[in-house]
Amino acid sequence: MKLRFAPSPTGMLHVGNARQAIANALFARKHNATFQLRIDDTDIGRSQEIYVAGIKTDLEWLGISWDETFRQTECLDRYNRAIEALKASGRLYPCFESEQELAAKREMRIRLRKPPLYDRAMLKMTAAQRAQAEANGKVPYWRFKLTDASKGWKDLVMGNCSVKLTAVSDPVLVRADGTILYTLASIVDDLETGVTHIIRGEDHITNTGVQLDIAEALGAKPDRFTFAHLPLLLDEGGGKLSKRFDSMSIKTLRRDGIEAEAMTTYLASLGSSKSPEPMGFDALAQDYDLSCISKSAARFDMKQLLGLNRRILAAAEFQDVRKRLPEGATEQFWLAIRGNIELLTECHHWWHVTHGDITPPAQPEELDYLRQAADLLPDEPWSEETWSTWTKAITEATGRKGKALFRPLRLALTGEEHGPELKMLLPLIGRQRSLARLALTV
């Protein structure tokens, strides 16, 4: 068994691509299969090395490793052999229409209330007509002649799938400049490198029918591959999740403080009947089951991802995050804040609250109360019991309880309405800072 993930290095890895990468990697890990990373870089004009490096960095961060890797630009001879074989069998034929001519044909068919399919006019071209076109400086692009059959398969997610090829235009496989298109290069790679299982997006279903026809034209058996098509991802509003939003790139989410375990767990469970439970990659692989994924589109909900991230951080040990905390941060600091942050990047704010200088909001109406509180502040050394001791003394002196007691103190000491327990924060802030902040608020 062999699976692959085949990103195009034309941009950053997006959550939709990452979901497919995770699905393939988990399935491969569960079944002890080979996992291949293929870089689909035949689009020379848009492919960039910075994106190749970024994709690999993102995959490694997610916990994904690969057994083999290659680039499509290293395999041009492989594609040329397939092209010559298809030409020899008569399945790949030259076309000379311009984009304007094709657009006019499509418009005419639409006016006649016919599907805008390619009319195969070039199949009627004689050798003499082709020679004349080339003599006039025209360079052909090449289309694959589809059969009139339907291509069906048992999909591991979608169930029984079928593509009626008569409802699809003969695909262009080679551009006039000799560029190989994905439809051909991908299936040739899968055949040549022994890929057995292909997990990809639902938007490839029609393409799968076409590629099966190409594979059979190249001598493959009809049941050569096993497919699983994952439903589309929607945004929180129910619209198609756009890959144009940088905020949905793995690089951006990682930089913003999303934990790798949260991302892999969330994307693996997205659209399935299973609730996301934080677990390592190996445990997640053993639990992964394509049959649990719904056929309906899944909705990417940032609130759910953040909730999962919060759970992971709340359970994280100091040594697990130590290198990513502010310089000088202690275990005491981490234990104080970990249950009240959604993103690790928030720890910098609380480090500033406990060890820096802040300007708390003015509370002129609480002038007398805060002065009394300052006068009752216990001497150091402080511990987690100090907060309770201090607030009891304040209650006895002022009669205040509940929100009237705690809110002015929290605002004065932290500048925030909410946050970690003050019994944990107060020893970190210290008596000198506490007195200064109580004075600043009046």
Model confidence pLDDT, tens digit, residues 190-229 = 999 999 999 999 999 999 999 999 999 999 999 999 999 9
Is the residue at 166 inside a domain?
no
Quick one: average pLDDT of 89-101?
A: 95
Q: For 103, phi and psi rounded to 5 degrees? A: -65, -40
**Per-residue pLDDT tens digits for 296-330:** 999 999 999 999 999 999 999 999 999 999 999 99
Looking at the structure of the chain, the number of domains it has is 2
pLDDT of 245 above 60: no
The Cα-based distances of 33 to 1, 29, 289 in angstroms read 5, 6, 15
- Of the three residues 147, 164, 189, the one that is the final residue of a domain is 147
Q: 74 and 39 in contact (C-beta within 8 Å)?
A: no
Residue 56 known to bind ligand: no
Q: Which helix (H) or strand (E) holds 155?
A: strand 150-155
Range 108-128 average pLDDT: 93
| 4, pLDDT greater than 90 | yes
* pLDDT higher than threshold 80 for residue 80: yes
pLDDT (average), residues 9-36: 96
pTM of structure: 0.89
Assign 239 a pLDDT band (cuts: 50, 70, 90): confident
In a domain, 347, yes or no: yes
Is position 100 within any domain?
yes
Give the rounded distance of the alpha carbon of 212 from its chain centre. 28
Residue keyed to tokens 């439903």: 231
Q: Give a yes or no: residue 253 inside a domain.
A: no
Instruction: Flag whether 185 is in a domain.
Output: no
In this prediction, residue 440 carries a pLDDT of 73
Where helices occur in 45-197 by DSSP H, the ranges are 49-61, 76-88, 99-111, 127-135, 182-193
Is the pLDDT score of 104 beyond 70?
yes
Q: What is the pLDDT of residue 432?
A: 95
What's the pLDDT band for 237 if we cut at 50, 70, 90? Answer: confident
Burial class of residue 95 in the structure, from the number of CB atoms within 10 Å of its CB (0-12 exposed, 13-18 middle, 19+ buried): buried
115: containing domain: 90-147
Whether the Cβ atoms of residue 150 and residue 118 lie closer than 8 Å to each other = no
Strand partners, 160: 154
- HSE (side-chain half, CA atoms, 13 Å) at 92: 21
Statement: residue 241 has pLDDT above 80 = no
Q: Is 396 within a domain?
A: yes
> Residue written as tokens 């994106």?
51
Give 384-399 pLDDT, tens digit per residue. 999 999 999 999 999 9
Q: Give the H or E element holding residue 111.
A: helix 99-111
Domain endpoint, select from 120, 147, 174:
147
The terminus-to-terminus CA distance of the chain in angstroms comes to: 71
CA distance 46 to 8: 9
Residue 367 lies in a domain: yes
Question: Has residue 124 been placed in a domain?
Answer: yes
Of 147, 166, 191, the last residue of a domain is 147
What integer pLDDT is reported at residue 112 of this predicted model? 92
CATH number at residue 404: 1.10.10.350
